[in-house]
Amino acid sequence: MEYLELIEAASLSLCGLATFLWMAIGSLSKTTRSEILAQRLISVICLSSAALLFALHYSGGEIWGSKNIARPFAVIAVTMAIASVMNIKGKDVQGEANPHNIMKARRDED
């Protein structure tokens, strides 16, 4: 297998693995420790994939017949790595009322 083909296959495989883990984060987050481990694993996989995608781009390789798509994919992978370590569990991100709190407040009023 050629060098560029190896980088392409490895980067796409890592992106797929990170996507799968991202979708399975609910199952992987049974405890706080396992959630942190899963988040860090996803982050490392995304950053590794980004490094391979940048290497592929600057080596003149191509993904799906395009020489210009590896770099935007690498930027997306870095963004996903940053997003994967954001711990928002139990925090009110949107500033909206929780439906459970609304129901509880209505019951307390009655």
Print the SS3 string covering the chain: CCHHHHHHHHHHHHHHHHHHHHHCHHHHCCCHHHHHHHHHHHHHHHHHHHHHHHHHHHCCCCECCECCCHHHHHHHHHHHHHHHCCCCCCCCCCCCCCHHHHHHHHHHHC
| Distance (Å, whole) CA 37 – CA 33 | 6
pLDDT score of 48 more than 90: yes
- Residue 93: what pLDDT? 45
Instruction: Give the chain's mean pLDDT.
Output: 81
Cα–Cα dist 80/83, whole Å: 5
Residue spans of the domains in the chain: they are 3-109
Residue 17 CB contacts under 8 Å (≥ 6 apart), including other chains: 45
Output the pTM of the full model.
Answer: 0.71
Contact of 17 with 45, CB cutoff 8 Å: yes
List, for residues 8-23, the tens digit of each pLDDT value.
Answer: 888 889 888 988 888 8
Looking at residue 92, its pLDDT comes to 46
Give strand pairing partners of 63.
Answer: 66
Res 26 pLDDT > 80: no
